């Protein structure tokens, strides 16, 4: 009881100070949606031994590139959340985008990026551009596998992240074959898949977020804060890090 | 290889009524199982086409490798061969081919009709959709900058709206069907072998039809899916008789059941990453290639069909019950109901996006859609009835009639 009161007090204090306590607190998800089974050995080693965690977010999102601090999207909130949870760890999140280019271009950019950033963990957000272009899902799977092998060979962990749930465009292109291929790659390489699509769909179906707005309605930042928070939970659990609740 | 019952159509129910395979005799009555399962596949296609619809959980694709598309294509091949095979027997190749091409034209018109709705919806959306959450997704609308090209490419079947993929497949299969049906009646096994060869070569050499824009291909690869259509036709023209003993053997039954169980287990385990993570590599066969009709999918469908026709006889009482009637009505008006289903899934999606994405709304929208499909199917049948009574004397009620092909 006292603990809970203390937690509430901290939350209020945090809110009052304009900080961001409990990132994933107002974004409930069902447990299965964020369950993870694959470990993150590099993350675990670097955090426990060197007190350092270097994350690289790779995507084809048009507006998501540069140091996380400069973005108000999930890499930024992920960095904030991890910094809060891993107090004595030097956390950096860097996002690199190859805007609106299919997976071939992303894979081509990987060697240079891995060499330059030397990440412990690559979060690979993928599948949207390919679904829009209706790329052959089998070819996509092969390219993804090749990319994942590049990352693993560079001694980094990988989390794959699938496309967003976008109710307006859900009809136009089908992301399922790409998520299926991500699952296949995740299974065969024993790496994690963060099912962003299912999580956002859950939020839409339970009324937590209305994702159908045609214009900017302020959901963007709240939603990315939630995603960042959930991702930080995901990483902490999968990496068996000190901030883990389990 | 094919595992479909000997009893799909009544003349084949007994060898006495169907002495030779090639002489497709006048059927004694309609096999309602064809209508029933085609109707069911149309419902499933509608439910699966409403994006992220909770009701899609009841459809067949979640419990095995194959889905409603296989059912639809197989039954379409079966009925096409049966109906037009009879026309060719009675009135010759030219009349049979003319009837088939008339049907092909109707399907093409249906495709253009759906395309217009699709373009109207996305054009509306493209001009207004500016949610910063979806900057990446809005890249989809880029192709709308060249409407003149899209229109021409669509008429050439090289630009396909979402979820109508099965129509262009149907158009191509029917367009070439006169030249398949003719040999299929004379040399059924040779024709089937030719179809297998085409499938094999297409898969080995990656044949498919390319699409505009980007470097992409038809979702239903016609070089591969033709195999299922031809298998359907082969079964309808007496193929089933030739392998009847094989189909009725205990070995085939056991193998079919085992394969269906294996597929169901694998498909369901896919949803629980914690389980599949421990599977050995040889069991990691998912995801299967739907575009090229993976053999796992083909055999899954054939096994399923074998079990269904084995345990549901043609005269099963439930087929004549009043609750089966709505499904059968939909199956009897398949082209209209397929198009309506695509249109309704547009509308259902619109409703879910605009009004609410909650679970109960999804259920309500899905059920409403199915009710509309039933109502329209009933209306279609009613129109056909009054048309039939209108001018000429009613033709004898024989078998499936052209409309269901």
- In three-state secondary structure terms, A58 is strand
For an interface test with A, give the residue of B132, B135, B168, B215 to mutate (most A CBs within 10 A): B132
Decide if B136 touches A, using CB distance below 8 A.
yes
* Residue A175: strand, helix, or coil: coil
B213 preceded by a cis bond (ω within 30 of 0): yes
Q: Kindly report, residue by residue over B346-360, the tens digit of the pLDDT.
A: 888 888 888 887 888
Nearest to A83 by CA among A229, A193, A223, A192: A229
Q: What is the pLDDT of residue B29?
A: 61
Contact A169 B134 (CB under 8 A): yes
Collapse the DSSP code of A193 into the 3-class scheme (helix H, G, I; strand E, B; otherwise coil) and give the result.
Answer: strand
Residue A94, SS3 per DSSP: strand
Q: Would you call B214 an interface residue with chain A, using a CB distance cutoff of 8 Å?
A: yes
A69 to chain B, any CB pair closer than 8 A? The answer is no
How does pLDDT run across B212-268, given as a tens digit for each residue? 877 678 889 999 999 999 999 999 998 888 888 888 899 999 999 999 998 988 888
Element holding B225 (H helix, E strand): helix B222-234
- Which of A74, A106, A169 has the highest number of chain B CBs within 10 A, making it the mutation to test binding with B? A169
| pLDDT value, residue B274 | 65
Report the length, in residues, of chain B. Answer: 405
Contact residues for B75 (Cβ-Cβ < 8 A; gap 6+): B34, B37, B38, B41, B232
**Contact, B10 vs B312, CB < 8 A?**
no
Give the model confidence (pLDDT) of B121-160 as tens digits: 888 888 888 778 887 777 788 778 888 888 898 899 988 8
Residue A158 burial (10 A CB sphere; 0-12, 13-18, 19+): buried
The confidence score (pLDDT) of residue B7 equals 36
Enumerate residues 6+ apart whose C-beta is below 8 A from B116: none
C-beta atoms of A129 and B136 within 8 A: yes
Size of chain A, expressed as the number of residues it contains: 246
Predicted model pTM: 0.81
Residue A87 and residue A198: Cα distance in Å, rounded?
A: 31
Residue B392: pLDDT band (50, 70, 90) is low
**β-sheet with A192-194: strand ranges across:** A66-67, A90-97, A52-59, A121-125, A157-161, A192-194
Residue B123's pLDDT is 85
**Alpha carbon distance B331, B79 (integer Å):** 11
More confident residue, A85 or B277: A85
Chain A CB contacts of B354 under 8 Å are 212
pLDDT tens sequence for chain A (246 residues): 344 434 444 433 333 333 333 555 678 888 878 888 889 999 999 999 999 999 999 999 887 777 777 778 899 999 999 999 998 899 999 999 888 888 999 999 999 999 999 999 999 999 999 988 888 888 999 999 999 999 999 999 999 999 999 888 887 888 888 998 998 898 888 899 999 999 998 998 888 888 888 888 888 888 899 999 999 999 999 998 886 544
DSSP code of B199? Answer: H
pLDDT band at B164 (very low <50, low <70, confident <90, very high): confident
Task: Provide the pLDDT confidence category of residue B19 given band limits of 50, 70 and 90.
Answer: very low
pLDDT at A24: 59
Q: Looking at chain A from residue 142 to 201, which residues have their Cβ under 8 Å from any Cβ of chain B?
A: 163-174, 177, 180-181, 183-184, 186-188, 190, 193, 201
Sorting pLDDT into bands at 50, 70 and 90, what band is B391?
low
A218 in B contact zone (CB under 8 Å): no
The H or E element spanning position B210 is strand B210-211
Residue B16 has pLDDT above 50, yes or no: no
Nearest to B35 by CA among B236, B330, B235: B330
B277 and A129 within 8 Å at the Cβ level: the answer is: no
- A134 CA to centre of own chain: 23
Rounded to two decimals, the ipTM of the complex is 0.75
Cα→Cα distances A83→A176, B114, B128, B169, B363, Å:
34, 52, 39, 54, 43
Model pLDDT, residue A22 = 52
Rounded to 5°, the CA angle B65-B69-B73 comes to: 120
């Amino acid at each position: 009881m006292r603990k809970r009161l203390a937690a509430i007090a901290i939350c209020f204090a945090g809110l009052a100070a304009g900080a961001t306590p409990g990132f994933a607190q107002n974004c409930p998800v069902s447990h299965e949606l964020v369950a993870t089974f694959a470990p993150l050995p590099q993350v675990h080693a670097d955090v426990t031994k060197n007190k350092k965690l270097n994350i690289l977010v790779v995507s084809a999102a048009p507006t998501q590139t540069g140091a996380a601090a400069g973005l108000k999207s999930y890499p930024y909130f992920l960095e904030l959340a991890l910094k809060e949870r891993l107090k004595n760890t030097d956390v950096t999140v860097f996002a690199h985008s190859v805007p609106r280019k299919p997976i071939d271009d992303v894979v081509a950019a990987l060697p240079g990026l891995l060499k330059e950033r030397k990440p412990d963990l690559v979060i690979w957000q993928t599948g949207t551009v390919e679904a829009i272009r209706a790329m052959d899902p089998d070819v996509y799977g092969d390219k993804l596998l090749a990319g994942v092998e590049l990352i693993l060979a560079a001694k980094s962990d990988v989390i794959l992240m699938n496309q967003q749930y976008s109710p307006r465009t859900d009809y136009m292109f089908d992301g399922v074959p790409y998520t299926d291929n991500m699952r296949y790659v995740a299974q065969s390489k024993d790496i994690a898949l963060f099912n962003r699509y299912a999580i956002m769909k859950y939020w839409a179906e339970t009324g937590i977020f209305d994702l159908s707005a045609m214009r900017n309605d302020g959901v963007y930042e709240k939603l990315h804060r939630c995603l960042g928070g959930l991702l930080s939970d995901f990483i902490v659990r999968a990496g068996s890090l000190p901030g883990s609740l389990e | 290889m094919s595992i479909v019952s000997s009893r799909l159509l009544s003349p084949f129910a007994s060898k006495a009524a169907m002495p030779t395979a090639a002489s497709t005799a006048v059927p004694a009555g309609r096999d309602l199982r064809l209508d029933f399962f085609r109707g069911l596949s149309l419902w499933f296609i509608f439910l699966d086409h409403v994006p992220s619809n909770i009701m899609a959980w009841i459809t067949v694709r979640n419990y095995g490798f194959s889905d409603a598309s296989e059912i639809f294509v197989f039954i379409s091949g079966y009925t096409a061969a049966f109906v037009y095979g009879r026309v060719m027997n009675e009135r010759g190749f030219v009349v049979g081919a003319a009837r088939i091409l008339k049907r092909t034209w109707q399907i093409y018109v249906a495709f253009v009709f759906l395309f217009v709705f699709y373009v109207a919806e996305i054009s509306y959306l493209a001009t207004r959709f500016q949610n910063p959450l979806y900057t990446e997704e809005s890249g989809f609308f880029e192709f709308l900058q060249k409407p003149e090209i899209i229109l021409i490419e669509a008429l050439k079947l090289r630009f396909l709206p979402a979820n109508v993929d099965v129509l262009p497949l149907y158009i191509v299969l029917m367009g070439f069907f006169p030249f398949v049906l003719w040999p299929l009646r004379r040399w059924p096994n040779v024709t089937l072998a030719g179809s297998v060869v085409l499938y094999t070569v297409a898969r080995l050499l990656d044949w498919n039809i390319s699409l505009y824009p980007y470097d992409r291909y038809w979702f239903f690869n016609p070089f591969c899916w033709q195999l299922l259509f031809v298998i359907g036709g082969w079964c309808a023209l007496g193929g089933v008789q030739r392998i009847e003993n094989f189909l009725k053997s205990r070995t085939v039954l056991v193998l079919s059941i085992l394969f269906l169980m294996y597929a169901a287990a694998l498909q369901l385990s896919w949803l629980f990453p914690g389980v599949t993570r421990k599977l050995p590599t040889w069991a990691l066969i998912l995801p299967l290639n739907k575009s090229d009709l993976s053999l796992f999918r083909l055999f899954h469908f054939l096994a399923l069909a074998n079990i269904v026709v084995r345990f549901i006889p043609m005269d099963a009482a439930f087929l004549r019950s009043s609750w089966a009637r709505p499904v059968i009505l939909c199956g009897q008006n398949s082209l209209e109901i397929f198009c309506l289903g695509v249109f309704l899934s547009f509308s259902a999606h619109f409703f879910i996006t605009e009004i609410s994405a909650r679970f109960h709304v999804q259920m309500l929208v899905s059920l409403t859609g199915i009710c509309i499909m039933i109502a329209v199917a009933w209306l279609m049948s009613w129109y056909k009835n009054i048309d039939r009574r209108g001018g000429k004397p009613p033709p004898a009620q024989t078998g499936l009639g052209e409309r269901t092909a």
